[in-house]
Structure 1
Amino acid sequence: MKSRQVFLVVLPLVFIFWSFSYDHLKLDYHNLYETVEYSSKQNIEIANEFIGPVIETKCSDVRYYSLAITPPDSFLTFREALAFKESQGKFWKINSLGYMGKYQFGMTTLETLGVTDSLKFLRSPRLQERVFIKNLKYNHEILEPYIEKYTGQKIGGVYITESGILAAAHLSGPGGVKRFFKTKGRKANRDAYGTSIKTYMTRFGGYDMSEVIEP
């Protein structure tokens, strides 16, 4: 019954977003070695505002918009790598469990962050980027004692870094990260698809978060 209700909620959203007629361009993320599609007007503006200036090049009748190369340990690289893992960088994506957007937020988390309209959230890349930063800072505030205590140590076979902790919190919430440390890494939460917070701590460890996390 629940699965049928979810289907009835998600299906109209799929048709709404399918009906949007964007002229898609491509942004080539040099530092991620991946290509992510953006709409010609709206998302180029989003890229300039939240990601950085883009450079236009032309090949035949296709325009490519490339980001300037950024340091491999920068916050920009962290953010876009995490987004690609979550949704392939797609603002409109809804997964099989109802998690939404570029960073795959659930409605409970969104409500905690002040978002109550899921359709408005999906239709606004700017809102999604702002919510991601807000959530990052929220998690950092809660987990700051753990970041200060464990950064630089090896717990449960994982080398601990600030960015790794925040990525793990994005996956399982601050509670899952606290549990990991309180059990010295013996209990590591997994999401519904089986991904462990250890994976996120390792994969997204070592990035410089000072750009968004004030000292």
Structure 2
Amino acid sequence: MKKKVLRVSLFPVIAGTFMFFGFSENTHSEEALPALPTYNVVSKPHIVPNAAQHVAYPILQKDYTGFKEAVGFKESQGNYKAINTYGYMGKYQFGRGTLALIGIKNTTEFLNSPALQEAAFYANASRNKWILRREIKKYVGKEMKGVEITESGILAAAHLAGPGSVKKYLRSNGYHGFKDAYGTSVRSYLKRFKGYDTSIVTPDRTAKVNK
């Protein structure tokens, strides 16, 4: 008789626990980043869980949002507060020099503002797209060292190595390669980030973040 009572009394607790974890595993709310009028910052993608492994994976499309989130994950696993051993900062691992070029001098403010970091990524991509406009027109659709050249791959490689290094790589047909301090190459970014639709990025020689 006691065993039956015990089972009945535990059922609401078990059921409540199941309902609690069931809902927490299958929902994810993330506040959208505030829109910045100049750069049209896009919010993060919706996250859904993998029930078998209990790990959440982002649903990414091959658009600008998917592109920037993929680059951000590669650079810092999406950590806005990250600072690497060489002083590169934020989700997209910007150096101080690049930030200054796009109008950001206060690195403390930069690290504490996800919206500012998203705007910085767009502004830098916009500037690089203008610098590499001729290379994009000439090389997109071609294959180099076994890798299809795409606009998104070029922009990602420019984020890694700077537009000058990407120009050298493309103009030398892949023979003048660049690797960063961790051994990551221009070719690897051209390959990893190919095929995203980055048409939303407008080429702008003087692109800066308006705060």
Q: Structure 2-normalised TM-score?
A: 0.71
The residue aligned with 2:43 is: 51
Segments of 4+ moved more than 2 angstroms: 47-50, 52-57, 211-214
Classify 1:27/1:209 alpha carbon distance in 2 versus 1 (closer, same or farther; 3 Å): farther
1:91 is the counterpart of 2:80: yes
SS at match of 1:190: coil
1:208 maps to 197
Quote the Cα distance in structure 2 between the aligned partners of 1:101 and 1:167: 16
CA, structure 1 residues 112+53, in 2 after alignment: closer, same or farther (shift >3 Å)?
A: closer
Instruction: Give CA deviations for 1:14-60 in whole Å, capped at 9, x if unaligned.
Output: xxxxxxxxxxxx999xxxxxxxxx9x8xx623288622675899xxx
Contact 1:47 / 1:53 at 8 angstroms: preserved in 2? Answer: no
**Alignment-mate amino acid for residue 135 of structure 1:** N
Q: In structure 1, what is the Cα distance between the partners aligned to 2:45 and 2:143?
A: 37
Q: 2:174 aligns with which of 177, 185, 199?
A: 185
Instruction: Look up the match of 1:194.
Output: 183
1:129-152 deviations in Å (ceiling 9; x for gaps)? 101000000000000100000001
Correspondence for 2:108 among 106, 119, 134: 119
Structure 2 portions without partners, runs of 5+: 1-23, 36-40, 50-55, 204-211
Partner of 2:92: 103
| Mapping 1:156-195, distance limit 5 Å | 156-195=145-184
Contact 1:190 1:196 in 2 (8 A): yes
Displacement of 1:66 in angstroms is 9.1
Q: 1:31 maps to what in 2?
A: none
Q: CA deviation at 1:212?
A: 2.8
How many pairs are equivalent? Answer: 170
**Paired residue type of 2:32:** E
Partners in 2 of 1:132 and 1:85 — Cα distance? 14
Query: Higher relative contact order by CA 8 Å / sep ≥ 6: 1 or 2?
Result: 2
Q: Which of the pair has more CA radius of gyration?
A: 2
Structure 1 position 158, deviation (Å): 1.9
Change (3 A) 1:27 1:202: farther
Counterpart-to-counterpart distance in 2, 1:27 and 1:109: 39
Distance 1:27 1:200, change over 3 A: farther
Normalization by structure 1: what TM-score? Answer: 0.70
Aligned 1:30-45 pairs, distance under 5 A = 44-45=31-32
8 Å contact kept, 2:83–2:89: yes
| Distance in 1 of aligned mates of 2:177 and 2:159 | 14
Measure, in 1, the Cα distance between the counterparts of 2:120 and 2:136: 22
RMSD value, Cα: 3.1
Listed as ranges, the gaps of 5+ residues in structure 1 are 1-25, 29-37, 58-64
